């Protein structure tokens, strides 16, 4: 039995993947992986995901250069969440040019942006929406 068979893939063949900064512990992004992207991640040491919007494999940083070097892969107790300890190239994980995709905090009943843009998305991508 392959280690990949121990993952509980959902009905679309996907599993939730969390990228966490290996030094600070901050969650940088949450995305999806399929069997091929998880295998590629383990094989290459670079995070690969499944893009649901583009319906294709996606090597994180393929356009921006902001690769995620994976230091550790973990599977949760239910087998349906992958957590990766990563080193984020350029210090930017989000297509908005921020360190983390989780840059809004609930304050007094509204979502407030609490993290600065480190680099203008137009300077990172041809398509600043990252698609």
For residue 16, the domain's CATH number is 3.10.20.810
Residue 120 lies in a domain: no
Question: pLDDT digits over 52-90, tens only?
Answer: 999 999 999 998 999 999 999 999 999 999 999 999 999
Residue 126 lies in a domain: no
Q: What is the pLDDT of residue 129?
A: 57
Residue 69 lies in a domain: yes
Beta bridge partners of 73: 84
d(CA 124, CA 85) in angstroms, rounded, equals 24
Q: What is the pLDDT of residue 113?
A: 97
User: Among 98, 89, 97, 88, which residue's Cα sits nearest to residue 125?
Assistant: 97
User: Among 1, 4, 5, 6, which residue's Cα sits nearest to residue 78?
Assistant: 6
Residue 98 lies in a domain: no
The domain tally of the chain equals: 1
Residue 18 lies in a domain: yes
Residues of the chain predicted below pLDDT 70: 127-131
What's the whole-model pTM score?
0.90
Residue 129 lies in a domain: no
Q: Which domain holds residue 54?
A: 3-90
């Amino acid at each position: 039995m392959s280690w990949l068979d121990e993952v509980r893939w959902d009905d679309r063949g996907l599993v939730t993947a969390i990228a966490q900064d290996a030094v600070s512990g901050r969650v940088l992004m949450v995305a999806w992986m399929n069997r091929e992207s998880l295998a590629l991640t383990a094989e290459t040491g670079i995070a690969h995901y499944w893009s649901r919007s583009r319906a294709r494999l996606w090597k994180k940083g393929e356009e921006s250069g902001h690769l995620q070097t994976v230091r550790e892969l973990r599977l949760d107790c239910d087998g349906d969440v992958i957590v990766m300890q990563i080193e984020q190239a350029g210090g930017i994980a989000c297509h908005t040019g921020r360190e983390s995709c989780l840059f809004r905090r609930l304050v007094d009943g509204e979502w407030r942006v609490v993290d600065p843009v480190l680099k203008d998305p137009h300077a990172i991508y041809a398509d600043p929406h990252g698609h």
